[in-house]
Structure 1
C-alpha cells in the first residue's frame, strides 16, 4: 500500500530540515547531557556506584540493540509514522525520567527512552535522504545533520553541567517534553509520508539483529566495569557475535533483508561505516576522560567543566557550518581526510597531559583542533554512509550509520577504560589518574589513525573498485 510521495514540497523543505535536525539533536544531547549530571543523580536518588552506570547503559542497550529493527520498521510501516512514534516514546520517557523518584524508575524509563531513540534515529536520516534530491541540496542537508552529530555531544556536556549546577538535572529531561510535542506537530504538518514497502517481514533477521546487538553492547558496556576476564562479559560478547553471524547468513537467503548486505559492497559506504565506528570510539573516550580530568584533577565544578568544553564546541560549530563551502572546494572525501588528520593531531596533543598541565595549553588548545576536526569529519562521513543508496535501502543505510555511531562509541569507551585501568588510573592519586587518562586518550589517537588509514584506502584511492562481496546479490 502506497501513501503520498516521499518528497517534500519545495516551500516546506526548510521546515522539514528543521524538524529532522532538531529531533536528531534531542537524541544526541541526551547521550552526553547525562554525563555531567550523574553525580547529582546519585545524590538525589541514592544510586550505588554500580547502579549509576545503568543510567547510561540502559539507554545504550535499548538504542543499540533495536536500531536495525527500527530502521526496517520505518521502511515497511512508513518513515514519518515511525518518526512520530519514536518521538512519542522519547518524549513520554523524558517526562517520566524528569519526574522519577527512585533509581529503579529512572533506569526503566531510560531504557524506554532508548527504544524511542532506536525508532527515531534511523527515520531522521532516511527522511533526509528521501526528501532532498541527490547533489548539492542533499549534501547541504546531510552536512547539517552531521554537524548536529558532532556538536550535540559537546553541547550536551556544556548544558548538562550548567543545568545541573544552576537548576536541576531534571530540567535536562523535562525540556524535551515541549520540544517533542512541537516536533510531532511539525512532522505531521510538513513531512510527507514515505512509500511503504510491501512484502514479508524478516522475522529471523529482526530477532538475530536485536539479540546480537543487545548482547554485544551489553558485553561491551559490562567490560568497562568488570574487565574482559569476566565470564558473563565474554559469554555475552561471544553470544552477540554468534547471533550476528546467523544474521549475515540469514540475510543472504531472504528476499527483503533487515540489513541488505549489498550496502557493504560499495567501498565508499564501507569506508564511512568503519571510519565512523573508529571516530566515535575515539570521541566518546575524549568526552568521558576529559570531563574526568577537568573535575578530578583540575578541580572544576560541573558547570565549570561544561563551560571548559567551549573550545571544542565553538570551533566544531563554525567548521560544521562551513562544510558545504569546504566540500565544494576540497570534495567530500578530501574534507573527511582533513578532518580526521586535524582531529588526530589534537587528540595526540591532549593525550600528553600531566598533573601540572595548564588548562590553556594542555587542554583548551588541543580542544580547538579536535573541534575543527569533528566539524569537518562527521558530515562527510554521513554523506558517504548514504552515498548512492536507493530509496528502498535508505532506512537500512541510515540504520547502519547509526549502528556504527552507537557501537563505535560503546566499544571505544570500553577499550579505553581497559587502557585506563591497565595504566593504573584507578589507584586514586592524581598522578595515577592522569597517567590512566593519558593512556586512554593515546588509545583514542590510535583509533583516529586507523580511521584515517581506512578512509584513505576505501574512499580516497580512486583505483579501488567496489569491494567484492559475492553474497550481496539481493
Structure 2
C-alpha cells in the first residue's frame, strides 16, 4: 500500500491525481537547490575563510575534499537507508542535520571546526539527495508528469552551481564569508516546513540493510574518492595508488557479494537493465566532463580574463537559462514520447561540441566572441541530458528500491567529478609546464604564465569533449528505443516490476 507522498501523479482518465504533488516537488527542489548552492558558495568564500581562520593553501583543498568524501562514499548506504526508514523520515532528518552542520560551519573558529562541519554537510547531503529523488520517483508515475517533475529537478541541478557563484560573491562582498554557510538555514527551513506538511510517513516496505554490502561499498567508494583527490597533487604517491587499488578491490568484493546475498544493497537487476545502466554511466561522463568544465572555466574567467566571482556566475547564466528551458520542454514532451535513447546521446554529443568550441579561447578573448556561443550549446546539451537521466535511472524500480536507485544516479556524478577533476588537473598542469619549457627561457612574465595556463585549459576542454563524445557512443548502444516502460494499465497505480525482462538485461 502506497503512502500519500508516493501517490500516483496521474492515474487513468477520470482518476484523481494527488493534489499536493506539485507542492511536494517544490519542497524537493528547494532542498536540491540548497545542495547545489552550497557547493559553489563555499568555493567563492574560501579565500576569505582562509584569511580569517589562518589555514594554509595546502589545507584549503580539504574544505572541498571533506565534503566530497562522505558524500561520495555514503550515497549507496543512505539510499538504502531511505528505503528502510522511509522517505519522509529521511528527508526531515537530513534537512535538520544539514542545517545544523551549516550553522556549525558558519560559527567555525578554527580550520578543524570548519572541516568537521563540511564533512557533516557531505554526510547529510548523501542522505538528502537520494531521499528527495526517491520522493519524486514515487510521487510522479504518469509518464508526462514524471517527465515534467524530473525536468524541474534537472533544472534546479543546473542552476544551483551558477547561482551559488553569484550568491556567494554577493554575500562575501557585502556581509561575511560565514553567511555562505548560514544561507543554507533559510533553504533548509523552507524545505523542512514543506516536507513536514506535505509528505506522509510511509510504512516499512520490506527493504533490509545489507551490512557487508554497506561496508564494502562505502569503503570502496571512500578509497576511490580519496585516491583521486590526492591525485591532484601527483600520481606517484602511495596515498594515491594505494587507495585507488584498495577501492577497486573493495568494489569488486562488493559486486561479488551482491550477486550472492539474498538482500543486496544494490540489486544486480537494477544495473542489469540497459536503460538504468546507461543512465548511471551518463552521470559518470557528465560528472567528469561538465563539472570539470565549470572548474576550469571559472579559473579561466577569474585568473586570465579578470572576472570577479559575481561576474563569473553571471557569465554562466546563458548556459543555465538554456538548460532550464530545454530541460522543461524535453522532460515534459520529448522524453515521455521518444524515451531516453534520442535524448541522452544527443545531449552528450551537443555538449561535447560546445566543449570542443572552447578549445579556441584566447588570452584576450571577449565574452561574446569566445564564451557565449559555447555556453549556449552546452546548456542545450545538458538540458537534454538532465531531462532524461534521473527519470531513466529510477524508472521501473519497485518502491522499496527507489532510494538506492536514486543514490546510484548520484554515485556516478560524484565519482565522475572526482575522476575528471584529478585527471584533467594533471593534464592542465603538464600542458602548461610543457608550454613554458618549450617557449620560455628564464623567469616567465605574467602574460606568458597566462598563456601557459590557457594552453592547459584549452586541452582540458578538448579532452572533456572527447569523454562526452565517447559517452554518447556508449549510451547510444546501450539504451533501448521507445518510451520508458510504464506500470501495467499505464495508469501509475500498480507497482512497476522490480525484475526486468530477460530481453532487457545486458
The residue that corresponds to 1:120 in the other structure is: 128
CA-to-partner distance for each residue in 1:397-454, whole Å, 9 max, x for gaps?
Answer: 1010010111111111111111111202696711111011112111211111111111
Paired position in structure 1 for 2:478: 458
Q: Which residue of 1 aligns with 2:99?
A: 91
Alignment of 1:7 with 2:15, yes or no, is no
The question of 1:337 aligning with 2:345 is answered yes
**2: CA distance, partners of 1:87 / 1:271:** 30
Distance 2:388 2:132 in 1: 17
**In structure 1, how many angstroms separate the alpha carbons of the residues matched to 2:159 and 2:58?**
29
**Corresponding residue SS for 1:322:** helix
Pair member with larger Rg: 2
Tell me the residue number matched to 1:433.
453
Alpha carbons of 1:198 and 1:10: their partners in 2 closer, same or farther (altered >3 Å)? closer
Matches within 5 A, 1:29-428: 29-198=37-206, 200-224=208-232, 226-323=233-330, 324-327=332-335, 331-424=339-432
Structure 1, 423-432 or 152-161: larger mean CA deviation: 423-432
CA distance in 1, matches of 2:139, 2:201: 10
Please tell me whether residue 19 in structure 1 is matched to residue 27 in structure 2.
yes
How far is the alpha carbon of 1:329 from its aligned partner? 6.4
Q: Does 1:443 align with 2:463?
A: yes
C-alpha distance in structure 2 between counterparts of 1:425 and 1:52, whole Å: 23
CA contact (8 A) 1:164 1:302 kept: no
**Shift in alpha-carbon separation, 1:191–1:51, aligned structure 2, 3 A:** same
| 1:472 counterpart residue number | none
* CA apart distance, 1:129: 1.1
Measure how far apart 1:335 and its partner are. Answer: 2.6
Q: Structure 1 residues 424, 196: closer, same or farther in 2, change over 3 A?
A: same
Q: CA separation of 1:124/1:282 partners in 2, compared to 1, >3 Å: closer, same or farther?
A: same
Match of 1:471?
none
State whether residues 285 and 471 of structure 2, in contact with CA within 8 Å, keep that contact through their aligned partners in structure 1. Answer: yes
**How far did residue 109 of structure 1 move?**
0.3
CA distance in 2, matches of 1:331, 1:129: 16
Give the match's secondary structure for 1:299.
coil
Unaligned runs of 5+ in 2: 8-16, 437-445, 483-501
The offset of 1:461, in angstroms, is: 5.8
**1:163 CA drift (Å):** 2.6
Query: CA RMSD of the aligned region, Å?
Result: 2.1
For structure 1, the residue ranges without an aligned partner over 5 or more in a row are: 469-474
Structure 1 residues 234 and 102: alpha-carbon distance in aligned structure 2, compared to 1, 3 A threshold: same
1:340, 1:334 → 2: CA distance?
A: 11
Q: Hey, what's the Cα distance between the residues in 2 that align with 1:165 and 1:437?
A: 28
Q: Is the 8 A contact 2:335 2:387 kept in 1?
A: no
Cα distance in 2 between the residues matched to 1:7 and 1:270:
24
Aligned residue for 1:194, secondary structure, equals: coil
User: CA separation in 2, counterparts of 1:294 and 1:63?
Assistant: 28
Paired residues in the alignment total 465
User: Counterparts of 1:461 and 1:182 in 2: how far apart (Å)?
Assistant: 40
Q: What displacement does 1:82 show?
A: 1.1
